[in-house]
């Protein structure tokens, strides 16, 4: 398994960090996890193409995670795509209704190839890839989900936006890699989001083998402070995510 952080930021406009979006390649499968504004352009910058995607996994429907969802659906029905393989759009509970009400009226779902929407919870197998989901604590208005991928004895989890949560901690137990949201420093901790020190506690208690922090708010503080706060509690391999950073599992 290998992937690319397409966006390590939030909904706050930043020339340094794009809105959330992650590319994951598992064998012959190509997945997107979240699709914030600018994700499709970042995908092109990374040398990948939306044309080859097998699925998109939406963690929740806050604007910074779905900004390029409508453009993606629109692009999939433009002339010259020549696509036949199926495409699946995964989302948390209530996502189908959201798609039908918000996205479909301005971007008709493609009809030239199989297209389906599947809501979590997930526990499915796509050839040699096991895909699972876990609800997260984030918003009082919307459901949200984390996604885990396992293949050939290796595992990676994308937390999406989340607060400290024992259920998610269990879901991440002994994962080879977790890409965990880290919106703020401990002093600026807000409900529904993780802070740097909490990320360290979480990773240690979940026995995570490698941790990449992402979803940084630019107003929170310098990278060195995020690293230092997390490192006080987690001694394993630790990286601060950056746009177009590649990772391997």
Distance CA 131, CA 155 (A): 10
What is the edge-to-edge ordering of all strands in the sheet holding 177-181? 123-126, 129-135, 145-151, 154-158, 177-181, 211-214, 238-240
Q: CATH no. for residue 28? A: 3.60.15.10
Q: What is the distance between the alpha carbons of residues 23 and 4, in angstroms, rounded to a whole number?
A: 5
What domain range is 236 assigned to? 2-248
Digitized pLDDT (tens) for each residue of the chain, 249 residues in all: 999 999 999 999 999 999 999 999 999 999 999 999 999 999 999 999 999 999 999 999 999 999 999 999 999 988 888 888 999 999 999 999 999 999 999 999 999 999 999 999 999 999 999 999 999 999 999 999 999 999 999 999 999 999 999 999 999 999 999 999 999 999 999 999 999 999 999 999 999 999 999 999 987 678 899 999 999 999 999 999 999 999 999
Q: Which alpha helices (DSSP H) does 11-148 contain, by range? A: 39-45, 63-66, 69-75, 95-98
Report the distance separating Cα 105 and Cα 100, nearest Å: 7
Distance, CA of 15 to CA of 155 (rounded, Å): 31
Q: How many independent structural domains does the chain possess?
A: 1
The pLDDT of residue 220 is: 65
Contacts 24+ apart (CB under 8 A), 186-191: 186/229, 188/220, 188/221, 191/163
């Amino acid at each position: 398994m290998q992937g690319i952080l397409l966006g390590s930021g939030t909904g706050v406009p930043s020339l340094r960090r794009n809105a959330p979006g992650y590319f994951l390649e598992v064998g012959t499968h190509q997945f997107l996890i979240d699709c914030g504004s600018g994700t499709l352009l970042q995908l092109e910058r990374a040398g990948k193409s939306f044309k080859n995607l097998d699925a998109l996994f939406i963690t929740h429907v806050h604007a910074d995670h779905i900004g390029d969802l409508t453009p993606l659906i629109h692009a999939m029905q433009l002339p010259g795509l020549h696509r036949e393989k199926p495409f699946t759009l995964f989302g948390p509970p209530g996502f189908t209704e959201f798609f039908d009400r918000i996205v479909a009226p301005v971007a008709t779902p493609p009809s030239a190839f199989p297209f389906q929407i599947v809501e979590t919870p997930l526990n499915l197998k796509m050839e040699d890839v096991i895909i699972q989901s876990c609800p997260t604590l984030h918003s009082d208005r919307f459901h949200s989900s984390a996604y885990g991928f396992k293949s050939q004895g290796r595992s990676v989890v994308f937390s999406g936006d989340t607060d400290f949560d024992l259920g998610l901690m269990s879901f991440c137990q002994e994962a080879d890699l977790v890409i965990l949201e880290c919106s703020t420093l401990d002093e600026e901790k807000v409900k529904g989001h993780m802070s740097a020190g909490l990320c360290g506690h979480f990773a240690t208690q979940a026995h995570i083998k490698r941790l990449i922090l992402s979803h940084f708010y630019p107003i929170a503080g310098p990278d060195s402070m995020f690293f230092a706060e997390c490192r006080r509690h987690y001694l394993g391999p630790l990286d601060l995510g950056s746009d177009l950073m590649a990772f391997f599992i």
